[in-house]
Amino acid sequence: MKIIILILVSALITAFISGLFGMAGGMVFMGIIVSFMGVSEAMVVHGYVQSISNGFRSYLIRADIRWDILGYELLGALPATALLAFIAFVPPKPVLFFALGVLPVLLWFPRGWLQGDAAKPKHAVLCGFSVMSLNLVAGVAGPALDFFYVKTTLTRKEIVATKAVTMLVSHFVKIIFFGIALIQASGLGTLPPTWVAVAVIPCVFLGTYFGTRLLNRFSDVGFKRYTRLLVTGVGLVYLWRGLVLVGFL
């Protein structure tokens, strides 16, 4: 029961974070649940919760979605999905934590040096390929996604709304990807009870609603600055966790 309560509370808090910043909540939630679940189980649970969070967030600010960017991202995501469908890979926990810890480095590249801009078609295609690949390997891709958004001229609402749809599709694919692997390995009996899947929905809705409401109080410049700082802090914690798991610390 303590684990179930932890899942519900974590879903609420991380949905609030994602609603406010458009990312980071997924990183935090993955780090929490993978600490007491198998990697495949964590991927499925994470994908389910984040699909609800991103779906509701994209609905709340649907007027700001940049569908043109999403179209180009889809062109990149399709070959990544097809490629990884032929690779049966479930990352060990240390690798997962290292990936979570290292990804925020992308947000600190100097302007003009490997700068991503999702508003440019070629960059959007690369964004779709990168995000889908990382989400199916590491379970999260928030920092990689933000690499293509944090330096654009898009408004904070356009960034959050468009990223929400991107991750909604990516997480849905992840559920199928790891769900099939989980069924083949041990069935679905190792997942939390079905009623938890229902109970988590209002938690995610509540956190997402208040997070997106608070988004209106941010300036575009402040939003991008605080996003980088938050994700970097979370990444450092996970990098430390990975080093502990391999016995380095």
Above 80 in pLDDT, residue 185?
no
pLDDT range class, residue 89, cuts 50, 70, 90:
low
Q: What is the pLDDT of residue 53?
A: 87
Q: What is the pLDDT of residue 121?
A: 94
Mean pLDDT of 135-146: 80
The mean pLDDT value of the chain amounts to 85
Q: What is the pLDDT of residue 191?
A: 87
Above 70 in pLDDT, residue 186?
yes
What pTM was computed for the model?
A: 0.83
Distance CA 106, CA 67 (A): 25
Mean pLDDT of 26-52: 89
Mean pLDDT of 242-246: 84
| Tens digit of each residue's pLDDT (9 = 90 or more) over 107-127 | 676 666 667 889 999 999 999
Q: Which residues form the domain of 134?
A: 2-245
In 3D, which of 44, 49, 82, 86 has the Cα closest to residue 186? 44
Distance CA 143, CA 230 (A): 11
- Cα angle 64-68-70, degrees, rounded to a multiple of 5: 85
The answer to which of 54-58, 125-129, 130-134, 183-187 has the lowest mean pLDDT is 183-187
The domain total for the chain is 1
| Tens digit of each residue's pLDDT (9 = 90 or more) over 188-235 | 778 889 899 999 999 999 998 998 888 777 676 667 677 778 878 888
Q: Which amino acid is present at 225?
A: R
Above 90 in pLDDT, residue 157?
no
Q: Look at 162 and 151; give whichever has higher pLDDT.
A: 162
Reported as half-sphere exposure (CB side, CA atoms, 13 A), residue 204 has a value of 23
pLDDT range class, residue 175, cuts 50, 70, 90:
very high
pLDDT range class, residue 70, cuts 50, 70, 90:
very high
Above 70 in pLDDT, residue 47?
yes
Q: What is the pLDDT of residue 65?
A: 96
SS (H, E, C) 103-170: HHHHHHCCCCCCCCCCCCHHHHHHHHHHHHHHHHHCCCCHHHHHHCCCCCCCCHHHHHHHHHHHHHHH
Q: What is the pLDDT of residue 94?
A: 84
